[in-house]
Amino acid sequence: MLKLTPLLLALAYGVLMYRFSAWRLGRELDDKSTELADLALKRLTDRMAAALDLPRIRVHIYEVEPINGLAAPDGRIFITRGFYQRYRQGVVTAEEISSVIAHELGHVALGHSRRRMIDFSGQNALRMALGLVLARVLPGIGPQIAGALTSLLVARLSRGDEFEADAYATALLVKAGIGAGPQKSLFGKLDQLSAGRGGALPAWFMSHPKTEDRIAAIEANEAKWRN
């Protein structure tokens, strides 16, 4: 039992940290967001709502500059002010913004946001377990290696979530009559979206699969569903 104590403590710490982070994020979103009121976007979200047999899809504007879409742990969908401004400036279209909303809806529908509580807790336990083992073999650098290996595993899981959410979005956009074209064209605007940001990628693309891989997966799904 004593040998398991560090792992149990790590697991408990992970759960507490996730709950605190979710609470803090919820407060942040409550304080810095309002419901989106844009007729062009509403027409598109209404089409997606009809495809999902829902009365409406609520989207909120999160008042921060980074270009991002967000599915909160409580299921709310957000577009950042920075992203919305790019739309108002004509850099991205309403259909392209709707593809981001569809992607975030995928994260909610597929349970990715809720599952992250388990993942977050498991990451701490795994990091602790690997650290204990590697510390005996590689004193001094074992914990660092354990952290790096855990981060690689988490990144792979995250990429899997993104491909799944992309596939959900493609299916929804096609069913709603919007099509997957805007989903792919938005990826093609990555350079434009990063202009003026020192070449940094928009937050929506950070820790995500490569753009070309995502486009290829979308096109493969389109071809499969046509057949």
pLDDT digits (tens, 9 = 90+) for 75-107: 899 999 999 999 999 999 999 999 999 999 998
Counted domains in the chain: 1
State both tokens at 5: 């104590």
Token digits of residue 25: 């994020």
| Across 47-51, 60-64, 135-139, 156-160, least confident range | 135-139
pLDDT for 201 equals: 46
Can you tell me the mean pLDDT for 207-224? 82
Domain around 85: 2-226
pLDDT at 102: 96
The dihedral region occupied by 90, where left means phi > 0, alpha psi between -120 and 50, and beta the remainder, is left
pLDDT at 190: 73
Report d(CA 127, CA 143) in Å as an integer.
8
d(CA 107, CA 164): 8
Per the structure block, which two tokens stand in for 115? Answer: 């599952």
**115 vs 126: CA distance, rounded Å:** 16
pLDDT, position 88: 95
- How far is the C-alpha of 69 from the C-alpha of 203, rounded, in Å? 8
Question: Where does the pLDDT of residue 176 fall: very low under 50, low under 70, confident under 90, or very high at 90 and above?
Answer: very high
pTM value is 0.74
In the DSSP assignment, the letter for residue 65 is S
pLDDT of residue 130: 56
At a CB cut-off of 8 Å and minimum separation 6, what does 49 contact?
55, 56, 57
Mean pLDDT for the chain overall = 77
